[in-house]
Amino acid sequence: MLGAVTAPAHPTDPLPRRIAHLDMDAFFASVELLRYPQLKGLPVVIGGGRRREDDVLARLREAYPERDWSDGDLSRIPLEFFPRLSGYTGRGVITTATYPARQFGVGSAMGLMKAAKLCPQAILLPVDFDEVRRISRLFKSTILEIAPVMEDRGVDEVYIDFTHVPGGQREGGRVLARLIQKSIFQATGITCSIGVAPNKLIAKMASEFNKPNGISIVWPDDLQEKIWPLPCRKVNGVGPKADEKLQGYGIHTIGELAARDPGWLIETFGKSYGAWLHAVSWGRDDRPVVTESEPVSMSRETTFERDLHAVRDRAELGAVFTRLCEQVADDLQRKGYAGKTIGIKLRYDNFQSVTRDVTIDHFTADAATIRRQAGLCLKRVDLTRRIRLLGVRVGKLVKPGTEGEQASGYSESHSTRTARDKASDEHTDLLFPELD
């Protein structure tokens, strides 16, 4: 049986807890298929960079200069004008892929060069983050009109508390899930998959049972049949390293994990994580659906098309580094946050990653301050090796004007900074830091 859960919001109400996890189907790719409906049913891969000018339209204008190609003509672009993965030699990573592409083993976070070997005929399109964000807001607002208790888990997924929503108990939540699916498709033209279960842990696993455009219902008595046969990696929170360790002890499925003595799990994996492994293997999860949460940090990073060197590619790295700092500052200002822990992330050409950070004595959302402090962090890492990825992060966030910010001291904003900072900026190298 699934483990005990917290009492519902209304203590006198005997309704069993029903939690849904909703995941948009191949979201980034689905957004592009709205633009290019002629690509439906074909292997399509999204990744490799941001959309600027539409490359396909540019090629059409070059090939047919006598015609004024516009956004209204996108659905009539011939397939041969779309770029293919075949021969791709860059350093990009897949954001997502359509289900026909996934049949070839292509998937999210895979390098595009590897994907090109598995499915060279796949069409490659860039990411349109502005449109993705717009449709993300649209599908979430559609949900909130039906079910008001929703937890935002990213651009393409949410948790929803069905317990007290009309239709949330009928057929275990299937009736309400159908309504939400239909409403989202009417609003966006994109499908989603929904899992409904007694808690968030099981609901997230269930949302992948019947993709795409599926609904999966898990009841308290379904643990042994539907959950225990799954690999341990299907548990949100069991990463590659933990899974490798579990397999080293002969534990491959959630059922095999549930069969282990909790004392042994605690002794082997530590008090907290071992106890958690035992609880989740028995389907226990009392986490509430959180309607509002504050971000812990904000970051920006980029993977280079070729490995860069801090000396030979100093100007290029410096420009990218400054842009990342400006983007993080813009994110902070746009969302109304400031932070005091500033850090960097590097991944070298051998895929080894390093991070460094510093905590300053005031909160900031200022690009120059972030750039200066992140630059000091760079001086604490090995810059003699070639760099594959570079990232900038700001943590320990507050909203200016809150009690926490006032207690800790907020000495600057993005528009007004101290004379000390301004004077320091005059001596700040705006390119990549010199090697000491």
Q: Which residues are catalytic?
A: 157
Instruction: For residue 394, give the 3-state DSSP assignment.
Output: strand
Task: Give phi and psi for 161, each to the nearest 5.
Answer: -85, 110
23 in a known ligand binding site: yes
Local structure of residue 393 (DSSP, 8 states): E
Q: Centre a 10 Å sphere on the Cβ of residue 402 and count the other Cβ atoms it contains.
A: 12
State the virtual CA torsion across 325, 326, 331, 334 in degrees, nearest 10. Answer: 150
Helix (H, G, I), strand (E, B) or coil at 227: helix
Determine the Cα–Cα distance for residues 131 and 136; give it in Å rounded to an integer.
8
Whole-angstrom Cα distance, residue 362 to residue 377? 17
b or e along 367-400 (b: 16 or more beta carbons within 10 Å of the residue's beta carbon)? bbbbbbbbbebbeebebebbbbbbbbbbbbbbee
Q: What is the DSSP letter of 433?
A: P
CA distance 343 to 374: 6
3-state helix, strand, coil in the chain (%, to 5): 40, 20, 40
In what helix (H) or strand (E) does residue 248 lie, and over which residues does it extend? helix 240-248
Q: What is the largest CA-CA distance in the chain?
A: 76
DSSP labels, 63-113:
H-TTS---GGGGGG--GGGS-BSTT--S--BEEEE-HHHHTTT--TT-BHH
Alpha carbons within 13 A on the beta-carbon side of 239: 2
Structure tokens at 389: 């990825």
Whole-number Å distance between alpha carbons of 245 and 278: 15
Number of Cβ within 10 Å of residue 346's Cβ equals 22
Token couple for 415 = 């528009």
Is 285 labelled a binding residue? no
Task: Pick out the residues of the known binding site for Mg(2+).
Answer: 23, 156
Task: Pick out the residues of the known binding site.
Answer: 23, 156
